[in-house]
């Protein structure tokens, strides 16, 4: 019983700390959605064999409670880490992340592009992700759900290049202003 009350108290304190002047902050572990769906890794090839997709199927992320739609997004940011693990050949890899309120995420420009730099067989290049989300995209985060997708492209300097781009962390932080409840 004491554990329950301690947990409730900690949750209330953390919500209260983030809610100064009518603001609330949501931290969403986007990586956990992708990992659970086995979509945290995208294979890459150069040249891309016929019929091999360079994208993951679009994933749905449930974000905010109902009623947050009238809020204003003060800030939104993404942080994380991606590992480019090369198995064969040398070249470079680009990972792109797409977000939209419509399921057709790949028709919009990529929200985030991360490059591996040069990769060689046996390399595991860990690249940090850090993005303050642009103003045009911020209103997406007052929606109760968003759709995300990922695309990988590679270029070979010593073909064929083959490996995988694997997210190891991806956090979304959204600060809202206004009463959402």
Work out the pLDDT band at 130, boundaries 50, 70, 90: very high
What's residue 37's pLDDT?
86
Is 1's pLDDT higher than 80? Answer: no
* Structure tokens, 85: 């693990």
Higher pLDDT, 5 or 14: 14
Instruction: Tell me the pLDDT tens digit for each residue of 32-54.
Output: 888 888 888 989 999 888 887 88
* Structure tokens, 32: 């956990």
Contacts of 53 (CB under 8 A, 6+ apart): none
Checking 106-109 for CB contacts under 8 A at 24+ apart, the result is 106/55, 106/58, 106/149, 106/151
Percentage of the chain lying above the pLDDT 70 cut: 81
The span from the CA of 171 to the CA of 155, in Å, is 28
Q: What domains, with CATH codes, occur in the chain?
A: 22-177 (2.60.120)
DSSP code of residue 55: B
Instruction: Tell me the pLDDT tens digit for each residue of 88-111.
Output: 999 999 999 999 999 999 999 999
Per-residue exposure over 108-147, b if at least 16 CB sit within 10 Å of its own CB, e if not: eebbbebebeebeeebebebebebebeeebbebbbeeebb
């Amino acid at each position: 019983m004491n554990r329950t009350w301690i947990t409730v108290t900690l949750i209330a304190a953390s919500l209260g700390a983030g809610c100064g002047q009518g603001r609330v902050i949501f931290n969403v572990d986007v990586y956990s959605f992708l990992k659970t769906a086995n979509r945290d890794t995208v294979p890459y090839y150069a040249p891309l064999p016929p019929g091999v997709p360079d994208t993951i199927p679009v994933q749905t992320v449930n974000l905010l409670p109902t009623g947050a739609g009238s809020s204003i997004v003060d800030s939104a940011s993404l942080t994380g880490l991606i590992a480019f693990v090369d198995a064969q050949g040398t070249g470079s890899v680009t990972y792109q992340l797409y977000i939209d309120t419509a399921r057709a995420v790949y028709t919009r420009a990529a929200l985030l592009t991360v490059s591996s730099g040069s990769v060689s067989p046996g390399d595991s290049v860990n690249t940090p992700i850090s993005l303050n989300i642009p103003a045009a995209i911020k209103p997406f985060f007052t929606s109760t759900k968003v759709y995300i997708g990922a695309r990988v492209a590679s270029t070979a300097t010593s073909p064929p290049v083959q490996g995988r781009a694997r997210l190891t962390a991806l956090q979304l932080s959204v600060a809202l202003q206004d009463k959402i409840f």
